[in-house]
């Protein structure tokens, strides 16, 4: 008979398995997720899968009261962790038990659960909070718009901290249920599908659902008095557009633009593949800003976008972001080109489709109209820096890079890349380098040099390189070569330029003016 002998070390090991990790093994989650441009954005130590927001908003006083339930998974043994929030907190519970909490810095909510949290466990966090979002300043500014009849959250790269606690960075996407109670006669607009609405004792509650992963800055809330239009696409997706009732002279032009959302989305499906979300639409609140933003499924448009009449080009830009920026999101804010270069190029493709100037003609015009000494060329779209994150060069020079790629690899491979990329990285995150490698894989060509020239060199690509890439004016003879002929302005140019001429840096220069770009 064989007797098993338990040696002391084996016995010790077996006992260790039964004893929970000591407190020394648990450490705080990082106060930032590691973004190179915005170190305070996001948090470490956990990954959110779902936000359930139950809110009440009083337009007269700008008072927002909320209970947020966050479902997350721990990624390390956590002694405590942070959420990003600027409003006042009254109670926090972790897994049902009251937790200690403290507000630190401008946006950090530090939470210490009763018992430390083991790695790879599902955790529920309930935060009760309240405040007036327009009075909350982070980095010296507020992302919350007061309107004559309510309030709006729509801003990039941050807006969540003004209205709900979150892991506020695109790396941590989650699904959302947003339930908002507002006074009767007022509506609450958010992302996704309106599941239901009900009225009781003078208040109406709207229940919205986004069932695909969504970055926190792409979550939106608009409370006010809106005219709402609804429809369904040929494929059955619900379409909901909303217009403030007090848009004045811009009301007609806004509707003439936003009501083409379904048509534009159907065309974009031909270019980028199947639409990635459960709803479509757009909204135009009565705000004084000048930009637009790709809030997921329901882009935000400032009335000023329509000062000069209808502008379908801005609708093209924001809907293109549903694939490039929303479904495939930046890994780090320095990767902004994978959002903006493609949204701008989609405007060029729409111009091509509409017969108002080909993408080639637009590329030639951009290249020729910026002198070599123009500071435009010093901005590197592949890593522009936080101060230039939404500089026009990220858009126009970013689109030039795509035209150079198109000319290098040919239309068949180029459009295969445009359609394949949103599928390859659907509902995830990606870097500029990921796109370069993907384009190389599909085309079978080395492309690092091309992208280096157009995205990373702080100078205007020299005429030979530009000519080789097919984006320099074709001039005839030596005399013409000495002074290239400036191409004619494509007919679509003014409407495209209207989506990037209104800057609003004065409100929040501390945050690099990131709301400054019309048509983010």
Q: What is the reported pLDDT for 463? A: 73
Please tell me the predicted confidence (pLDDT) of residue 484: 58
d(Cα 336, Cα 48) in Å, to the nearest integer? 23
Q: How confident is the model at residue 20 (pLDDT cuts 50, 70, 90)?
A: low
Q: Which residues contact 1 (CB under 8 A, 6 or more apart)?
A: none
pLDDT at residue 500, as a whole number: 78
Confidence of residue 472 (pLDDT cuts 50, 70, 90): low
Please say whether the beta carbons of 509 and 389 come within 8 A. Answer: no
| pLDDT of 12 | 44
Quote the pLDDT of residue 466: 74
> Can you tell me which residue has the tokens 């009083």?
58
Percent of the chain whose predicted confidence (pLDDT) is above 90: 85
Q: How confident is the model at residue 429 (pLDDT cuts 50, 70, 90)?
A: very high
Specify whether the CB–CB gap between 189 and 135 falls below 8 A: no
Q: Tell me, what's the pLDDT at 262?
A: 97
Structural contact between residues 43 and 171, judged by C-beta atoms closer than 8 angstroms: no
Say what the pLDDT of residue 511 is.
Answer: 38
Confidence of residue 178 (pLDDT cuts 50, 70, 90): very high
Q: Starting at the edge strand that comes first in sequence, how are the strands of the sheet with 122-131 ordered?
A: 97-98, 88-94, 122-131, 63-74, 46-58, 174-183, 203-214, 193-200
pLDDT digit string, tens, across residues 213-245: 999 999 999 999 999 999 999 999 999 999 999
Q: Mean pLDDT of all residues in the chain?
A: 91
At 519, is the pLDDT very low, low, confident or very high (cuts 50, 70, 90)?
A: low
pLDDT bracket for residue 51 (50, 70, 90): very high
Which pLDDT belongs to residue 458?
97
Banded pLDDT at 464 (limits 50, 70, 90): low
Q: Largest Cα–Cα distance in the chain?
A: 103
* Number of Cβ atoms within 10 Å of the Cβ of 162: 27
pLDDT band at residue 21 using 50, 70 and 90 as cut-offs:
low
Give me the mean pLDDT over the 376-399 stretch: 96
* pLDDT of the residue at 131: 98
Instruction: Name every residue whose Cβ is closer than 8 Å to that of residue 398 and which is 6 or more positions away in sequence.
Output: 337, 340, 341, 342, 344, 345, 381, 455
Could you tell me which residue, 165 or 515, shows the higher pLDDT? 165
* Predicted confidence (pLDDT) at residue 9 exceeds the cutoff of 80: no
Measure Cα distances from 184 to 59, 203, 225, 383, 478 in Å. 11, 5, 10, 47, 73
Residue range 379-408: mean pLDDT, rounded: 96
Give the angle subtended at the CA of 279 by the CAs of 276 and 284, to the nearest 5°. 115
For residue 271, what are the contacts with CB-CB under 8 A and spacing of at least 6?
346, 349, 415, 418, 419
Element (H, E) at 451: helix 448-451
Give the residue carrying structure tokens 């002391």: 8
* Residue 218 β-bridge partners: none
- For the segment 247-270, what is each residue's pLDDT rounded down to a tens digit? 999 999 999 999 999 999 999 999
Residues 6 or more apart from 397 whose CB is under 8 A from it?
366, 376, 377, 379, 381, 454, 455
User: What are the pLDDT digits (tens) for 474-489?
Assistant: 443 444 444 557 889 9
- Regarding predicted confidence, which is higher, 472 or 344? 344
pTM of the complete model: 0.91
Q: How many CB atoms lie within 10 A of CB 488?
A: 11
- Tens of pLDDT, residues 138-154: 999 999 999 999 999 99
Q: Taking residues 496-507, what's their average pLDDT?
A: 60
Tell me how far apart the alpha carbons of residues 404 and 48 are, in angstroms, rounded to a whole number. Answer: 39
DSSP 395: H
pLDDT recorded at residue 499:
87
User: Residue written as tokens 């030039």?
Assistant: 400
């Amino acid at each position: 008979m064989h007797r098993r002998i338990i040696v002391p070390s084996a016995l010790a090991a077996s006992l260790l398995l039964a004893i929970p990790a000591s407190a020394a093994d648990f450490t705080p989650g990082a106060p930032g997720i590691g973004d190179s441009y915005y170190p305070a954005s996001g948090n470490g130590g956990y990954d959110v899968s779902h936000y359930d927001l139950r809110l009440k908003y009083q337009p007269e006083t700008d008072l927002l009261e909320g209970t947020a339930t966050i479902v997350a998974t721990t990624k390390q043994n956590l002694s405590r962790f942070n959420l990003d929030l600027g409003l006042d907190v009254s109670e926090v519970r972790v897994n049902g038990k009251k937790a200690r909490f403290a507000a630190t810095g401008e946006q950090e909510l530090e939470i210490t659960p009763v018992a430390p949290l083991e790695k790879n466990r599902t955790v529920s966090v309930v935060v009760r909070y309240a405040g007036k979002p327009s009075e909350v300043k982070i980095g010296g500014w507020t992302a919350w718009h007061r309107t004559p009849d309510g309030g709006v959250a729509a801003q990039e790269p941050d807006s969540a901290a003004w209205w709900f606690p979150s892991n506020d960075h695109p790396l941590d996407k989650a699904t959302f249920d947003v339930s908002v109670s507002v006074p009767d006669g007022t509506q609450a607009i958010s992302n996704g599908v309106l599941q239901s609405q009900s009225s009781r004792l003078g208040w109406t509650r709207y229940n919205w659902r986004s069932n695909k992963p969504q970055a926190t800055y792409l979550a939106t809330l608009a409370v006010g008095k809106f005219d709402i239009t609804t429809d369904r696409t040929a494929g059955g997706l619900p379409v909901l557009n909303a217009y403030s009732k007090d848009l004045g002279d811009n009301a007609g032009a806004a509707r003439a633009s936003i009501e083409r959302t379904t048509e534009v989305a159907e065309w974009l499906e031909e270019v980028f593949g199947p639409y990635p979300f459960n709803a479509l639409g757009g909204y135009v609140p009565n705000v004084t800003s000048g930009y637009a933003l790709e809030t997921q499924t329901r882009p935000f448009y400032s009335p000023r976008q329509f000062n000069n009449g209808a502008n379908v080009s801005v609708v093209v830009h924001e809907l293109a972001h549903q694939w490039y920026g929303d479904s495939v999101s930046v890994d780090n804010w320095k990767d902004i080109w994978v959002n903006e270069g493609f949204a701008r190029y989609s405007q060029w493709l729409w111009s091509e489709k509409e017969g108002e100037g080909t993408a080639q003609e637009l590329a030639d015009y951009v290249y020729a109209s910026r002198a070599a000494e123009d500071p435009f060329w010093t901005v590197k779209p592949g890593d522009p820096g936080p101060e230039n994150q939404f500089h026009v060069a990220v858009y126009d020079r970013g689109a030039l890079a795509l035209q150079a790629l198109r000319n290098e690899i040919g239309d068949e491979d180029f459009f295969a890349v445009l359609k394949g990329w949103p599928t390859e990285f659907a509902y995830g995150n990606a870097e500029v380098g990921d796109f370069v490698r993907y384009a190389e894989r599909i085309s079978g060509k080395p492309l690092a040099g091309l992208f280096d020239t157009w995205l990373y060199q702080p100078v205007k690509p020299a005429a030979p390189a530009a000519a080789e890439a097919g984006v320099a004016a074709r001039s005839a003879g030596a005399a013409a070569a000495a002074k290239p002929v400036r191409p004619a302005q494509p007919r679509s140019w003014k409407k495209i330029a209207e989506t990037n001429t209104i800057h609003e840096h004065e409100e929040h220069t501390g945050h690099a003016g990131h709301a400054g770009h019309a048509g983010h």
